[in-house]
Structure 1
């Protein structure tokens, strides 16, 4: 229910001041805070001042229920329409609208209703005393109202002046902070510019050093490839001549000396091979030829080659790799495994060395585990660096170059896998080779040349090799299986010999100055299509054209009488 607190009429400024005071008193009595009291009194004053020029203004002040929060409402009815826009926007009705919670203007712009929301639960049931107070207040006290308003203005002025002083202080502080920030920014910019110049120069120097290192590394790899190949040729000749010498009639002392010579030549060839293979691996020139790998046969082969190296008191355990299928380059994976096994038995005095294989998450994992001296944690990655050998009490008696593990890791990466090591000093090491299994399929051994016990007579065999010493070795190996052996030192010499005396078979060195062995074989096959031939080289197996595919290839380092005879006997036509 609406409770009317005051009904009055404004006729002049005195009435306006009385209305201001009455509105403030009503707001105070109904629990509004001091700021809300002043806002309501000011809004009444603004609307009343705008309405008085048109004539008397009727005013009603009442409390109106509105949900949980009642409304202190003032209704002012002017004698003439009020200005609500335009020039009066800085005062009057527009100014009052910014001060109160509610302000409505009728369409004829003569009645203005404004109000302030009271706090929820404000008591509005007994306002008789308030009505009496407001009525008495309206009869007089205009001077008190002026004094109160003046005091309010002074307080507001003091607050504004304090705020102005605070703003000036803050602006001064901000200006100093900005100046400091600008000075710091300028200093940092200068330092950053200087640093950037140094970094640019450093990057330029690093790029130059990188190019120099790359060039030096390439030169080193090229030197290793060239020198290694040149070294292999005479070493192969020494091995072949030693083999022939060992078959001659020697007394016991001479046989021992020839054996020592063969061992030393073999060791030298191994070192040369390691240098050459490492150079190829570093240059990314490894020839990877994936094929199904018979792991059982490979493990048997590794067991046979490693067993003679095992010390007394050490057990060599090779697990059966049944069910593990692997497609990769058998030759390369065998070199990695042989290298790991050789290292393991070198540095194991007691216990066991174990080789095993398993399929894990679609990959083949080969592990070589030993119970040897182990590797300290700080040297675990060093063993994969060239020429690094970790000191231990077995090191003086273990021959090696420090190239095996670096080569093994690079080969593993070339095969698309990884090689990692784990070790505990005094308890042993585990090297883990992880390779992609490759396409699924039955494992099969790499095709090998089968030896024959009683090869037939080869007739006239022409041996072509620019290394005369090795040519003599091949001739010696063929003396029991050929009726006659001729030697030629280059392609032109070979063709000249064949014009005078055709050969029944030929053995050709792949790498020769001028016309190489493959080109020469193609010319010979053009004239004699079914001419038996064997290719030899100190390097890797060559890529052959389709018309020569299937021609047997023999590495010079592993050439002996049985292998050479088997190669001729097993292949009589391309």
Structure 2
């Protein structure tokens, strides 16, 4: 499928600049036309400025002899130049000329013959100087080139020198002889070089330029098939290169009549292809005009041996009739677009028309005989301007694509920034909202836990259990939001070390065994001795979420936790025989709050945060989750991690029912409900608790300091000061005692502050066993079995 032509300039321009470009069109056309006409006139009449003596008096004799005729009779006085199309249009194709001259006053004499068409020979005083007949192809001179001959001093006479020149050719191809210029050799060499450049070598250069440009454009079209406009331009350029070959070939490869037909056909096909190009370039659809162009080219391709002149006359007028509409289309486009490329193309097209008309006058013998054709130069200029226009289009199209890409990248960057800002705002909102929720939730959870331990009545215990379940659900939601906020904040820095997978698998299986048993599922761990290099906390959180998710969405069968080597790494996998996930929806499950099979938002089916946390943990571990799933048959979540040397599993030391006996705890929290709940919980574990409401109370207590505390538990957000200031004050007075920050702050900047300080942090809300485990770690009291805390 071809594309519509692109405008020459895709970028908007100002009205003033557009007006200037419009004014440039007539100025360019007029200027280039006048310049080309002046140049053509200068080259047409350049012989008038040649130095030396013009030899134009001669005698001629019709003869086909190999040597100059010796007879004195039959020679006719002739004035040079002698154009056979005018003097002997029906005459024989061979004439001898005798040109007398005197070289007595000329040093190092030479002669320059502007035109000797189409072949022949030159003699000086009975000796041959040059043979350009077709019997000597290697010496044959093109009829379109000038001839410079140095006159040997050994052949010259003091007086009565005679040049004898034979000319062979057909009258209909402008055969004949120009005048002969006699001058010193050093004066004629520059003139000969200059004239040979314009008359012959320039044609070769223009053909090579056309050939290379046409092949490149044809290759571009073949590679892209973007627009037939480029094909028409390539074919026009190649036709023009072939058409101009007769201007520089020394000897034609076929008979001259057949060659004339090829040249005329090449010119016509160039015009046809160029016309198709102009129609496409200007966006014009003239079907009848396209047919006329093809018919014109076919008519000019018919053989015309012996009828060259009539054919040219008959086809010249239709050619001009077809060319004028193309010129008008280019001028109209240049005016409308106001583009430099269109103006230059219109100007060169007008110049080509003018020089083609000039060459037509030369072919009809309306110009001096020694003049030569020039339209091939304007044709190359026309093709160059067209190539410039096409290149400009490609460049403008590329610039347009670059601008679109830049705009797209900017829009993507803006959208990314907006999404990042929205995500940061969401994180700040969740952090602020969860802080206010965590305070009462943690207090309720601790108090309900105490009540459960003390109430024995079954009916009251059932109500307390339901309240406990509701608090646990709220704690899970807030914990999930906290995990997302913490992972999104960028302050979580993984601490990579060797992690034995069997211990991690066993701990997860022990935690989730009750859930699996309640649903009638098998939770299996494939024994392994493999270890991986990972952050143990992130890996544990990731696998726990995967296993919990698998158990939640599996109704029969079971869940398998396994690991295997894979190309120097370890692939950790969680398999299930659950409901499965359709391929087109697998990417959605890693987004926040997405639950494909829970439109009613049943809390028992989770909150839709587990897999979002899993994806973030995998990213921090330098990996990603691979998911394979088939609806109705189950899923497999996999994680590739670097392998590590095998490690022994860590032992778990049981604790006691009252593990904090004789531990003196300094508790600081501004919320009275939380303060009372924490105090009650700690005291139930055997601790001696001193509860204070803020930094001023702490400073006052430190002034008296009735005892040295074993542990400091403090909130971060306080009415006066903050938890870090409390810690600094207590440690300044009591030394480096163990400290635990208990806070509901989850803003990214607060998490970053906590991480930089190195203070252990426990985020509200939390279950009682998590609080006890955190105290055990920082106070060096060991790890407690959760079963002993119920």
**What TM-score range do you get, normalising by the shorter chain?**
0.5 to 0.7
Give the TM-score normalised by the residue count of structure 2: 0.50
C-alpha spacing 1:291/1:240, structure 2 compared with 1 (3 Å): farther
1:9 to 69, 79, 84: 69
Q: Deviations over 1:88-133 (max 9, x none)?
A: 4224xxx36x747xx79899975433442489xxxxxxxxxxxxxx
Higher relative contact order (CA 8 A, sep 6+): 2
Partner of 2:477 in structure 1?
271
Q: Are 1:351 and 2:557 counterparts?
A: yes
C-alpha spacing 1:383/1:149, structure 2 compared with 1 (3 Å): closer
Q: Secondary structure at the match of 1:369?
A: strand
* Residues in 2 aligned to 1:333 and 1:11: alpha-carbon distance in whole angstroms: 118
Q: Secondary structure at the match of 1:9?
A: coil
* Residues in 2 aligned to 1:175 and 1:211: alpha-carbon distance in whole angstroms: 58
Q: Secondary structure at the match of 1:366?
A: strand
For residue 490 of structure 1, report the CA deviation from its aligned partner. Answer: 0.8
For residue 475 of structure 1, report the CA deviation from its aligned partner. Answer: 1.9
Partner of 2:615 in structure 1?
409
Range that drifts further, 440-449 or 244-253: 440-449
Q: Which has the larger radius of gyration?
A: 1
* Residues in 2 aligned to 1:517 and 1:283: alpha-carbon distance in whole angstroms: 21
Q: Secondary structure at the match of 2:606?
A: coil
Q: Secondary structure at the match of 1:357?
A: strand
Whether the 8 Å CA contact 2:563–2:572 is kept in 1: the answer is yes
Q: Are 1:53 and 2:100 counterparts?
A: yes
C-alpha spacing 1:312/1:231, structure 2 compared with 1 (3 Å): closer
* Residues in 2 aligned to 1:564 and 1:6: alpha-carbon distance in whole angstroms: 122
For residue 351 of structure 1, report the CA deviation from its aligned partner. Answer: 2.6
Whether the 8 Å CA contact 1:339–1:408 is kept in 2: the answer is yes
2:527 to 316, 320, 323: 320
For residue 265 of structure 1, report the CA deviation from its aligned partner. Answer: 0.9
Q: Are 1:113 and 2:317 counterparts?
A: no
Q: Are 1:570 and 2:776 counterparts?
A: no
Q: Are 1:495 and 2:685 counterparts?
A: no
Q: Are 1:341 and 2:541 counterparts?
A: no
* Residues in 1 aligned to 2:613 and 2:444: alpha-carbon distance in whole angstroms: 26
Q: Deviations over 1:184-215 (max 9, x none)?
A: 6887899x99x99x989999999887766654
C-alpha spacing 1:6/1:336, structure 2 compared with 1 (3 Å): same
Q: Deviations over 1:166-189 (max 9, x none)?
A: 466445535534544665688789
Q: Deviations over 1:297-351 (max 9, x none)?
A: 2111221222222265532232234234222x32223222222222222222223
1:225 to 415, 419, 431: 431
Q: Secondary structure at the match of 2:527?
A: coil
2:113 to 84, 89, 92: 89
C-alpha spacing 1:149/1:382, structure 2 compared with 1 (3 Å): closer
Q: Secondary structure at the match of 1:365?
A: strand
Partner of 2:712 in structure 1?
507
Partner of 1:73 in structure 2?
none
For residue 448 of structure 1, report the CA deviation from its aligned partner. Answer: 9.4
Whether the 8 Å CA contact 1:365–1:432 is kept in 2: the answer is yes
* Residues in 1 aligned to 2:650 and 2:722: alpha-carbon distance in whole angstroms: 27
Range that drifts further, 517-526 or 278-287: 278-287
* Residues in 1 aligned to 2:408 and 2:736: alpha-carbon distance in whole angstroms: 66
* Residues in 1 aligned to 2:591 and 2:778: alpha-carbon distance in whole angstroms: 43
Q: Are 1:252 and 2:454 counterparts?
A: no
* Residues in 1 aligned to 2:70 and 2:125: alpha-carbon distance in whole angstroms: 22
Map of 1:427-446 to 2, 5 A cutoff? Answer: 427-435=633-641, 437=642
For residue 251 of structure 1, report the CA deviation from its aligned partner. Answer: 1.3
Range that drifts further, 214-223 or 454-463: 454-463
Q: Secondary structure at the match of 2:717?
A: coil
Whether the 8 Å CA contact 1:10–1:16 is kept in 2: the answer is no
* Residues in 1 aligned to 2:495 and 2:445: alpha-carbon distance in whole angstroms: 28
Q: Deviations over 1:374-401 (max 9, x none)?
A: 1223322222333222237998685222
Q: Are 1:292 and 2:352 counterparts?
A: no
* Residues in 2 aligned to 1:285 and 1:219: alpha-carbon distance in whole angstroms: 17
* Residues in 2 aligned to 1:462 and 1:563: alpha-carbon distance in whole angstroms: 18
Q: Are 1:462 and 2:480 counterparts?
A: no
1:381 to 576, 582, 587: 587
Q: Secondary structure at the match of 1:461?
A: strand
Q: Which consecutive unaligned segments of at least 5 residues does structure 1 have? A: 18-37, 56-78, 120-145
Partner of 1:126 in structure 2?
none
* Residues in 2 aligned to 1:443 and 1:185: alpha-carbon distance in whole angstroms: 80
* Residues in 2 aligned to 1:299 and 1:455: alpha-carbon distance in whole angstroms: 27
C-alpha spacing 1:151/1:539, structure 2 compared with 1 (3 Å): closer
Partner of 1:521 in structure 2?
727
How many matched pairs?
Answer: 480
C-alpha spacing 1:290/1:106, structure 2 compared with 1 (3 Å): farther
Partner of 1:31 in structure 2?
none
Q: Are 1:536 and 2:742 counterparts?
A: yes
Give the TM-score normalised by the residue count of structure 1: 0.67
Q: Secondary structure at the match of 1:116?
A: coil
Q: Which consecutive unaligned segments of at least 5 residues does structure 2 have? A: 1-64, 78-88, 138-166, 176-256, 261-305, 340-395, 783-790
Range that drifts further, 388-397 or 503-512: 388-397
* Residues in 1 aligned to 2:514 and 2:127: alpha-carbon distance in whole angstroms: 119
* Residues in 1 aligned to 2:519 and 2:665: alpha-carbon distance in whole angstroms: 48
* Residues in 2 aligned to 1:292 and 1:488: alpha-carbon distance in whole angstroms: 42
C-alpha spacing 1:153/1:84, structure 2 compared with 1 (3 Å): farther
**Alignment RMSD:** 5.1
For residue 454 of structure 1, report the CA deviation from its aligned partner. Answer: 7.2
* Residues in 2 aligned to 1:455 and 1:312: alpha-carbon distance in whole angstroms: 34
Q: Are 1:367 and 2:573 counterparts?
A: yes
For residue 480 of structure 1, report the CA deviation from its aligned partner. Answer: 5.3
* Residues in 2 aligned to 1:400 and 1:110: alpha-carbon distance in whole angstroms: 112
